Amino acid sequence: MPSLNLTNALAKLPKAELHLHLEGSMEPATVAELAARHGVTLPLEVIEAWYDYADFAGFLEAFKWVTSFLRAPDDYGLIAERLVERLIQQGVVYAEITLSVGVMLVRGQNPEDSFAAVHQAAQRARGRGLKIHWVFDAVRQFGPEPAMEVARWAARFRDQGAVAFGMGGDELAMPTAEFRGVYDFARSEGLHCLVHAGEIGGPQEVRDAIELLGAERIGHGIAASADPALIGLLAARGIPLEICPTSNLRTGALATLLAKPAAGIEDHPVRNFFERGVPVTISMDDPAMFRTSLVAEYALLPGLGFTPEEIARVARRSFEAAFVEEESKRALLRGLDEAASALGLV
């Protein structure tokens, strides 16, 4: 299939997005608008400069600064509405969107009010063919007690679409074992369990996320490529990796993993994972901050050796790995299979 036709097919293909931070979807123009709401005038070029950073630490600082203008529930509602529009335009029919509830709490915000605003956006999206669930995310470097508070909030809103508890931030800041109690609690409340691991940390961080915390999916996990036994474990247990190729490039995570400062997207290990039987899914992570889209992420796969049929299989993995009730999952998979066939991908 010619590349242009393939790109068009990928745009039309129904897709699931499983690793997406709401706050990281804020375009510079939206940041300027939010800042103005709160009495701060910022030239667009000043904001855009924050979207350029040299490494993972720089990205975290940029994320912290950009999200500092999320100060009221209406702010969260606005960025949720705008993200919904972009997801629908990209053919996304199911999304699990991560909320940085740990950040809300440290800033003294009420998660109930902010969640009400984004939940309304999700309800409206459903009428337009986009089903949204939520992941309540803790920040590792804040410690286990704040993480437990996030887990309690997630449990409180389970009936309103909060399907999972996750943990991001600096994975090297605190030992994984310190969060076992938090994950035990989340599981006891019927929440699915996610962990960012193996992004800037090593293979052991991925193994600990699985063995100590019971992670059902791993955010990023690219460091597993350095440990054949761990790759085998992921494949044998069917634990999906939420792969975000452009994110890994922009944060320097890929360069760090490979000890190759000039690492390019062609060096990404996603193809190796796929060939070794690891369930891989494709995601945007923080689309505005990485200047990407889900269609753009999928469009990288042919250059990494994926055939159209294999790309359709990766898309299917995303639905299979989704935390959605089985009846809905079967319907989503039928829709994907029918579209993939009609678009000539299989």
Q: 239 with 276: CB under 8 angstroms?
A: no
Overall domain count for the chain: 1
Q: How many residues does the chain have?
A: 346
Determine the residue type at 157: F
pLDDT in tens, 264-286: 999 999 999 999 999 999 999 99
Phi-psi region at 344: left, alpha or beta (left = phi > 0; alpha = psi -120 to 50) = left
44-50: average pLDDT: 97
Percent of the chain past pLDDT 70, that is, above it, reads: 99
Residue 5: predicted pLDDT:
86
pLDDT for 143 equals 98
State the pLDDT at residue 280. 98
Catalytic residue among 96, 149, 199, 216: 199
Q: Determine the Cα–Cα distance for residues 32 and 35; give it in Å rounded to an integer.
A: 5
Active site residue 45: no
pLDDT of 1 over the 80 cut:
no
What are 54-103's pLDDT values in tens digits? 899 999 999 999 999 999 999 999 999 999 999 999 999 999 999 999 99
Full domain range(s) for residue 118: 3-342
How sure is the predictor about 2, in pLDDT bands with cuts at 50, 70 and 90? low
Cα 108 from Cα 110, distance rounded (Å):
7
- CATH label of the domain that carries residue 29: 3.20.20.140
User: What is the residue-averaged pLDDT of the chain?
Assistant: 97
Q: What is the reported pLDDT for 3? A: 61
Q: pLDDT (tens digit, 9 = 90+) per residue, 109-161?
A: 999 999 999 999 999 999 999 999 999 999 999 999 999 999 999 999 999 99
Chain segment 151-197, per-residue pLDDT in tens: 999 999 999 999 999 999 999 999 999 999 999 999 999 999 999 99
Using CA of residue 119, residue 20, residue 68, residue 192, what is the dihedral sign? positive
- Whether the pLDDT of residue 4 is over 60: the answer is no
d(CA 326, CA 319): 11
